[in-house]
Structure 1
Amino acid sequence: MELPKYTRSQLALRNGQDKPDIWVSYNGLIYEVTNSRLWKNGKHYEHWAGQDLTDEIAQAPHGLWVFERFLLIGELI
């Protein structure tokens, strides 16, 4: 199944402020994190939703497995 494609502008609107959905991107894939208590209001520690977090994941205290908890909803173009 092919995933829907979203632009960086569309991703940016899912920041927990502009729209009720909270999305983040990693390695070209977009994940829905709206229901995560750790992403309340679109902020997770010093990271903001609506962004590509690929370069920031190296600083995280967890591994890439964390994305397995969230629904994969699209591709970042």
Structure 2
Amino acid sequence: MKSYTLQQLALRNGQDRPEIWVAYRGMIYDVSESRLWKKGMHYEHWAGQDLTEELADAPHTEKVFEKFVAIGQLA
């Protein structure tokens, strides 16, 4: 599986490039097809970031990431 840096992840924010990616626990997920992530934002969360710390404040568990394809690892 390919590795990406935080800087590369940051470019996949739905603004700078069409891809919408987020990271969680070292894995990077492509959420581009999710209607909840259109324009790179989901509630107060922005795409192109590591959301590991922010999940504690979310109304769902980490199982939400099972809906998405893991496309890489955070370097």
TM-score range, shorter chain: over 0.9
Give the alignment's Cα RMSD to 1 decimal: 0.3
How many angstroms does 1:30 deviate by?
Answer: 0.1
How many angstroms does 1:48 deviate by?
Answer: 0.1
Could you tell me which runs of 5 or more consecutive residues in structure 1 were left unpaired when the two chains were aligned: none
Normalized per residue, which structure has more helix? 2
How many angstroms does 1:8 deviate by?
Answer: 0.4
Matched, 1:43 2:41: yes
Residue 63 (structure 1) aligns with:
61
Letter of the 1:25 counterpart: A
CA–CA distance in structure 1, aligned partners of residues 33 and 59 of structure 2: 21
Q: How many residues align?
A: 75
Aligned counterparts, 1:12-27, within 5 A: 12-27=10-25
Identify which of 8, 12, 16 aligns with 2:6: 8
Which segments of structure 1 move beyond 3 Å, counting only runs of 4 or more? none
CA–CA distance in structure 2, aligned partners of residues 72 and 5 of structure 1: 11
TM-score (norm: length of structure 2): 0.99
CA–CA distance in structure 2, aligned partners of residues 69 and 27 of structure 1: 16
Could you tell me which runs of 5 or more consecutive residues in structure 2 were left unpaired when the two chains were aligned: none
